[in-house]
A and B are shown apart, each in its own frame.
Chain A
């Protein structure tokens, strides 16, 4: 994950958090598209892997693996570490 070595003020933290929420929303859209294409999109293909239709493999395990990749990408690359205490917390 991104390391943040400088002290952020509240405005910068909230701006970062907003951006991270947008990344998460976009990741969701990407995953929904993958889910549609991987499942319904390949349902007409007569291909099986270990006796399971391709659409079912891609639409279940495939979606899970993509979700893991997305979570790793978000949490390890796009999200930033920050101190959760604010400028004037508790005052």
Chain B
């Protein structure tokens, strides 16, 4: 009886939250009825305001690893990890400042609704567009699987329910609400998720401080017992190579992630963009510093090492269970789960648009085939559901080394899109051959070095991928034919 009551207390907040997510998507679908389906489903009819734009960009960017693996590492490494993680404060103002307006202007000129639309128009290549769509779907599936697995493991560890139950509860919910509501629903639910993430951090911090006997007590103890936490290299646990590669992997190169760049197509006006740059930077910094600092303070609650609790991934779940009252545990894990589902929904809608809009609709247009609006609607929702369901099935038997797969996918997307977008949109001499060599060659080299475990100076393979991708782009642009004047007039008027 008591056990049933405990289960109910744990599940109620989660069920309520998931119910709200689905209700939002149904409401959005109802409100969008009668509008251009493709535009409303894939970019929300370019109607996002500043606050929602900021929150959806932050929420899609912040994954479950930011809330579980990251603070677990901060527990082990100390302030060096927070110092490294804070580089993520650049992510929002960089992507919106560099690509936000340019992509918005181009999307309106070209009637584009996806990043691949813009790449196709810039380089006049269906092949490159197909490769870009393939790369998006491939790497997004990897990232989504990691989110599903991370979220379900957290759910199981905290609530005591099975991994599968967690997967069904939040995995199916995210697939359903994304399929029904499309981008607009994703943006609104992301906003709810980001707010819940912040509430979760504040709650956890409060109870960790309380359970640890107060800030003064925790820090005084740590200064004596764990001096390595106060040293930037953490007595060798944080080599400079991690700092360097993290600047690339989760800082600078994130500007080219398609799921972030597509936000530039979706907002209403430049006032909204300017607001979003500021709000997004405030929020992403609060989340990163807040949750990682909480990871360090968790020493006040957990007396052993990370290994004693089954590794760094178990630090936050164990801390939640240990420090928080039972009636708030369900509420507290909404934060990390929200990070997971907001990333999945953001990726799912872009992956779906890559297949339906960038491949199928473009093919139909070239073949002069008429696709009825009803068919487009059915295909879009079905494709979103099928991709989500496929990833869901993969996550049922979780592959090992899931966090490495997540980072692998992040690096692959950055290698493929960084120079293609940056040079393609800002350099007149960028051409089709350069973009093709960069995207295909760079991605293949990146994947090959990952598979072989080959590293230079022990740096993450993103450094090899991004360097080769640049060299190939420059060689191709030097050897290849210049883009035609008509295209250049659109992109560089």
Q: Give the docked Cα–Cα distance between A51 and B217 (Å).
A: 10
CB neighbours of A40 from chain B (8 A) = 232
What total of chain B residues lie within 8 Å of the partner, measured CB to CB? 48
Closest Cβ of chain B to A64, distance in Å, is 4
| Contact pattern, B 76-119, Cβ under 8 Å of A = 1, otherwise 0 | 00010011001101101110011101101100110100000000
Q: Decide yes or no whether B11 CB sits under 8 A from chain A.
A: no
A14 to chain B, nearest CB (A): 5
Using Cβ atoms and an 8 Å threshold, which residues of chain A touch B223? 51
Q: Give the docked Cα–Cα distance between A81 and B268 (Å).
A: 12
Contact flag A81-B289 (CB < 8 Å), given A13-B105, A35-B87, A60-B83: no
B86 touches A64 (CB 8 A): yes
Closest to A21 in B: B98
Chain A contact residues, majority secondary structure: helix
A70 to B219, CA, bound (A): 31
* Complex contact A17–B105 (CB within 8 A): yes
Beta-carbon contacts under 8 Å, B268-288 to A: 269-271, 273-275, 277-278, 280-282, 285-286
The answer to whether B230 and A76 touch across the interface, beta carbons within 8 angstroms, is: no
B426 within 8 A of A: yes
Is the beta-carbon distance between A43 and B277 smaller than 8 angstroms?
Answer: no
Is B216 at the interface (CB under 8 A from chain A)?
Answer: yes
In the bound complex, residues from chain B placing their C-beta under 8 Å from that of A27 are: 93, 97
Q: How far is the CB of B9 from chain A (nearest CB, A)?
A: 35
Contact B278 A51 (CB under 8 A): no
Q: Are B97 and A86 within 8 A (Cβ)? A: no
Question: Which chain A residues lie closer than 8 Å to B104 at the CB level?
Answer: 84
Q: A17 with B101: in contact, given A39-B83, A64-B285 (CB under 8 Å)? A: yes
A28-B94, A60-B79 known; A82+B101 contact, CB < 8 A: yes
Q: Does B492 contact A (CB under 8 A)?
A: yes
Contact partner of A75 (CB less than 8 A), chosen from B231, B277, B285, B492, is: B277
**B108 and A89 form a contact (CB under 8 A):** yes
Q: How far is the CA of A22 from the CA of B216 in the complex (A)?
A: 45
- List the 4 closest pairs (A to B, CB-CB), nearest first: A24-B97, A51-B219, A64-B285, A75-B274
18 new A-B contacts, CB < 8 A, other than A14-B492, A55-B232, A81-B269, are A14-B102, A21-B97, A21-B426, A24-B93, A31-B90, A32-B247, A40-B232, A43-B232, A50-B215, A55-B79, A56-B232, A59-B83, A59-B232, A60-B79, A60-B83, A60-B86, A67-B89, A80-B270
